[in-house]
Amino acid sequence: MPSEDVSHVAPAAQDSCRSCWLAVPGLLWLALFFLVPLVLVFAISFASRGTYGGIVWEFTWANYVDLLHPLYGKILGQSLWYATLTTAICFLLGFPLAYVIARSPARWQPVLLLLVMLPFWTNFLVRTYAWMIMLRHDGLANNLLLALGLITEPLELLYTPMAVVIGLVYGYLPFMVLPLYVAVERLDPVLVEAAWDLYASRWAVATRVVIPLTMPGIVGGCILVFIPSIGSFITPDLLGGARSMMIGNLIQHEYLVVRDWPLGSAVSFVLMAIVMAAVVLYYRQASPGDGPLEGR
């Protein structure tokens, strides 16, 4: 009997060792190109800036203390506001779209999903420049509004907070639609029909059946939109100008313009802390024990 136990354990141990060896190349890659640079940037965040730029390896908390300045707080608050507003608009636009795609005939779903992902076929920078052409003083948007008689003179659309939000929503809307589509596609239509049979209103069906059952997709889509939005720097730089600086623009400015690498590293880790908090929130919401039907 003991020999049989050993014979059963040995193959399992061999499979476990083989799995570990298969993971070694990926772990080495992550350690070399992610962990090592991350540790280096973390160390630089506690260093000092040289007189003419560069790094002086003198330990200091000054870089993190400087971030308490109201100017940096304003930029951080503005970044959080843009990212939150972008996430909310993407959800309001993406959920109905995902629901329609998921409830469309099976032969049309791949076509509709392809249309959602079609913007990814074009470079993000090119798409942002296209929005600059559309929103400028003599651009397509103003010309269309003038032709329709809705305005009498061109509006200032470019280099405004509205232009930044439009660019962010346009760029990251597919990241909201795809996880929502997966969540809605897994939703059993029988549950929705049961709610209708119990004379539930449209609002009750949406808030008490559809949204709770698709919450993992909602949270996942919000995370996928919020994280790149708060760190974006191309969109606010091109569409918002100097008046719409976000935390990504601040990092770029500290590294490439001011050449204050320690302060730029400190800002990067503050941004990383915000992102990690969002990821932790996602995993807590999507954990198996926190499902909408748990305990019912």
Q: What is the 3-state secondary structure (H, E, C) of 144-210?
A: HHHHCCCCCCCCCCCCCHHHHHHHHHHHHHHHHHHHHHHHHHHCCHHHHHHHHHCCCCHHHHHHHHH
Supply 291's token pair.
């499902």
Q: By the 8 A CB rule, do 267 and 66 touch? A: no
What local confidence, expressed as pLDDT, does residue 115 receive? 92
**pLDDT tens digits, the chain, 296 residues: what are they?**
455 554 555 565 666 677 778 888 888 998 899 899 899 999 999 999 888 878 888 889 999 998 888 989 899 999 999 999 999 999 999 999 999 999 999 899 999 999 999 888 888 899 999 999 999 988 889 999 899 888 888 888 899 999 999 999 999 999 999 999 999 999 888 888 898 888 888 899 888 999 999 998 998 899 899 989 998 989 999 998 877 889 999 998 898 888 899 999 999 998 888 888 877 876 776 554 444 434 33
With beta carbons less than 8 A apart as the criterion, state whether 219 and 282 touch: yes
Helix axes 70-102, 261-285, angle to 10 degrees: 40
The DSSP code for 286 is: S
pLDDT at position 5 is 52
At 70, the amino acid letter reads P
